[in-house]
DNA sequence: GCATGTCAAGTTGTG
DNA sequence: CACAACTTGACATGC
């Protein structure tokens, strides 16, 4: 069956993740800085557990975790380690509590590094920071039991072949824990499913198929073909396929940017996906309300975990 | 309280 | 050239 996933935050559920800025941290001495970071990290760890409880209650089967659970962790000036934080053990324990809840209810967790993480960049300093950020996200993924870190190909720099060769080279520099979790996702301006498949197959990296991006940035493959090719990269690894879907706020016409709408238009949901064993992250501004509405409109069953009769 | 300006980071495309 | 878009507005400050 299909399981539906929520991305990062909630519209109505009273669950919030906290952040801070490097500038604010730099105005504090080391002791006050670490105390503040510790407080925020503990709040975020508790919020993650609350988020997973809400996800389960709402009948969803997946959750995308907001990357900065530990705010500014890899910042060159205010970066730190978990062991540096007062109460670091309690933070770790709370994250492991979330991991246990995830496992008990068979929820699938992912991370999605933001736009600054670019393994295809020709600039060494960009790649270096990207590798550090991915190692941080790998550490978080390990702690909370997240299966996947979903990354885009990055920039094309006028030569996508060369850029992807750089991506593959830097992929090899990551730790095994990150390599084993990394997935590639087609994006809306540069890399299509057709572009990414050779790298995915060569590296054993599964392909997250975003049908919204595919419609913005087509490659001659039909939705059915792209679905089958992407799904094969997951099944090769004995894993369940992972897809993304969203609707454009201002319709599909024209070349203007296509920000996400509040809710899914059910006609944007590929009929090719119905009946598959797969995970579908719903990217919509109305968050859990949008996931719930889409499931209702599709007649989808709530996720109860594999082998739990759901 | 509330309005407003700011926030680490990359790359691309539009107007 | 400025700005929006991207997984996401939240935080810090000043009134």
A98 CA to B13 C1' in angstroms comes to 40
The percentage of chain A sitting over the pLDDT mark of 70, rounded to a whole number, equals: 97
* Residue A27 Cβ < 7 Å to strand C: yes
pLDDT at A307 over 90: no
Q: Which segments of A58-159 does DSSP mark as H helices, in order?
A: 88-104, 124-144
| Distance from C-alpha of A107 to C-alpha of A148, rounded to nearest angstrom | 12
pLDDT of residue A280: 97
pLDDT of residue A310: 42
Question: Alpha carbon of A178 to those of A55, A169, A182, A183, A209: distances in Å?
Answer: 25, 14, 6, 10, 20
A273 CA to C12 C1' in angstroms comes to 45
pLDDT of residue A260: 82
C6 C1': nearest CA residue = A115
- CA A286 from centre of chain: 18
With H, G, I as helix, E, B as strand and everything else as coil, classify residue A164.
Answer: helix
pLDDT band at A257 (very low <50, low <70, confident <90, very high): low
The stretch A195-213 carries a mean pLDDT of: 96
A191 CA to B11 C1' in angstroms comes to 13
Pick the closest to residue A183 from A167, A204, A162 (CA basis): A204
pLDDT of residue A253: 64
| Distance from C-alpha of A41 to C-alpha of A187, rounded to nearest angstrom | 31
The stretch A153-181 carries a mean pLDDT of: 96
Pick the closest to residue A1 from A308, A230, A275, A231 (CA basis): A275
- In this complex, the nucleotide whose C1' atom is nearest to the CA atom of residue A23 is B7
pLDDT at A255 over 70: no
pLDDT of residue A150: 97
A310 CA to B12 C1' in angstroms comes to 43
With H, G, I as helix, E, B as strand and everything else as coil, classify residue A283.
Answer: coil
A76 CA to C15 C1' in angstroms comes to 34
pLDDT of residue A105: 97
Chain C positions within 7 A of any protein Cβ atom are 4-13
The percentage of chain A sitting over the pLDDT mark of 90, rounded to a whole number, equals: 91
Q: What's the pLDDT tens digit per position in A11-52?
A: 999 999 999 999 999 999 999 999 999 999 999 999 999 999
* Residue A257 Cβ < 7 Å to strand C: yes
Q: State both tokens at A37.
A: 């970071």
What is the overall mean pLDDT for chain A? 94
The stretch A50-75 carries a mean pLDDT of: 95
pLDDT at A218 over 50: yes
pLDDT at A308 over 90: no
Q: What's the pLDDT tens digit per position in A112-161?
A: 999 999 999 999 999 999 999 999 999 999 999 999 999 999 999 999 99
A304 CA to B11 C1' in angstroms comes to 40
**Long-range contacts formed by A18-27: CB under 8 A, 24+ apart:** A18/A43, A18/A44, A18/A47, A18/A71, A19/A68, A19/A71, A20/A71, A20/A72, A21/A72, A22/A72, A22/A75, A22/A77, A22/A78, A25/A72, A25/A75, A25/A78, A26/A77, A26/A78
- In this complex, the nucleotide whose C1' atom is nearest to the CA atom of residue A258 is C5
């Amino acid at each position: 069956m299909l399981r539906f996933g929520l991305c990062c935050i909630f519209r109505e559920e009273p669950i919030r993740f906290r952040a801070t800025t490097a500038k604010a941290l730099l105005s504090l001495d080391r002791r006050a800085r670490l105390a503040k970071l510790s407080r925020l990290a503990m709040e975020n760890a508790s919020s993650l557990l609350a988020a997973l409880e809400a996800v389960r209650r709402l009948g969803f089967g997946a959750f995308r975790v907001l990357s900065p659970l530990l705010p500014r962790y890899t910042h060159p000036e205010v970066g730190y380690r978990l062991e540096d934080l007062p109460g670091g053990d309690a933070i770790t324990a709370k994250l492991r509590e979330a991991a246990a809840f995830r496992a008990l209810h068979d929820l699938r967790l992912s991370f999605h590094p933001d736009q600054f993480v670019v393994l295809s960049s020709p600039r060494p300093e960009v790649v270096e920071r990207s590798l550090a950020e991915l190692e941080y996200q790998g550490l978080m993924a390990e702690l909370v039991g997240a299966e996947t870190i979903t990354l885009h190909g990055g920039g094309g720099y006028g030569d996508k072949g060369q850029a992807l060769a750089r991506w593959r080279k830097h992929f090899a520099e990551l730790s095994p824990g990150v390599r084993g979790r990394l997935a590639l996702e087609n994006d809306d301006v540069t890399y299509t499913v057709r572009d990414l498949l050779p790298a995915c197959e060569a590296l054993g990296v599964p392909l997250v198929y975003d049908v919204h991006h595919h419609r913005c940035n087509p490659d001659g493959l039909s939705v059915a073909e792209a679905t089958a090719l992407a799904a094969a990269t997951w099944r090769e690894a004995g894993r369940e396929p992972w897809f993304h879907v969203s609707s454009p706020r201002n319709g599909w016409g024209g070349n203007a940017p296509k920000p996400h709408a509040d809710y899914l238009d059910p006609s944007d949901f590929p009929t090719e996906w119905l009946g598959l064993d797969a995970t579908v992250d719903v990217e919509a501004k109305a968050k859990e309300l949008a996931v719930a509405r889409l499931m209702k409109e599709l007649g989808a069953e709530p996720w109860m975990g594999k082998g739990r009769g759901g």
